[in-house]
Amino acid sequence: MKKALVAYFSATGTTKKVAVSLAEAEGADLFEIVPEKPYTAEDLNWQNKQSRSTVEMQDLNCRPAVISKVENMEQYEVVFLGFPIWWGREPSIVDTFLEAYDFAGKAIVPFCTSGGNGIGFVGDRIKALLGGKAMVVNGQRMGGETSAEDLKIWADGLDL
Ligand SMILES: Cc1cc2nc3c(=O)[nH]c(=O)nc-3n(C[C@H](O)[C@H](O)[C@H](O)COP(=O)(O)O)c2cc1C
């Protein structure tokens, strides 16, 4: 079996729950993308045009700082990457994570939670961001209550 990492960003815990179950189900290591400055409820208010998340997401070049670091990224062949959908895509802090490591030769498997939107074109966005160096699969939206059993069926079915 390939050595896998489940890396995730989660502002309010939904994606975290899925990531923890997936790591357990796959026997993978778990890594949290931790923002230098935690997101408060006010930061996450998408109805406020001035809120931190709105401002960050409007700027495609925004890269919020991350304080956690994956040790020995070289050891992983597969990286599951979990995040909430913000404004139809991955939060910019996920882009910070993606630009911090060399993913050449690895498979990246995005997964998201959301209020309803699917994962859309996030796989293509990630591929473009990495300059085509990694193998990026399209990925999948998961319900917050997806069971470890269902996550395992999904992950094993990817045939990576
Ligand atoms: C700033 C912000 C933007 C969001 N944008 C979307 C969106 O475009 N589509 C959607 O379905 N859900 C959207 N959501 C809902 C989150 O994707 C959803 O609540 C997610 O499960 C939260 O995950 P977390 O608890 O791991 O942070 C948004 C939430 C926030 C805070």
Given a contact cutoff of 8 angstroms between Cβ atoms, the answer to whether 97 and 126 are in contact is: no
Average pLDDT over residues 8-18: 98
Q: CA 127 from chain center: how many Å?
A: 13
CATH code for the domain of 54: 3.40.50.360
The predicted pLDDT at position 34 comes to 98
* Tens digit of each residue's pLDDT (9 = 90 or more) over 42-68: 999 999 999 999 999 999 999 999 999
Cα 114 to ligand 1 centre (Å): 5
Q: Report whether pLDDT(132) > 90.
A: no
Is residue 86 packed enough to be buried (19+ CB in 10 Å), middle (13-18) or exposed (0-12)? buried
pTM of the model: 0.98
- Domain total of the chain: 1
First-to-last C-alpha distance (Å) of the chain: 10
Closest residue (by CA) to atom 8 of ligand 1? Answer: 87
Domain of residue 53: give its range: 4-157
Average pLDDT over residues 6-30: 98
* CA 52 – CA 73 distance, rounded (Å): 30
Cα 5 to ligand 1 centre (Å): 23
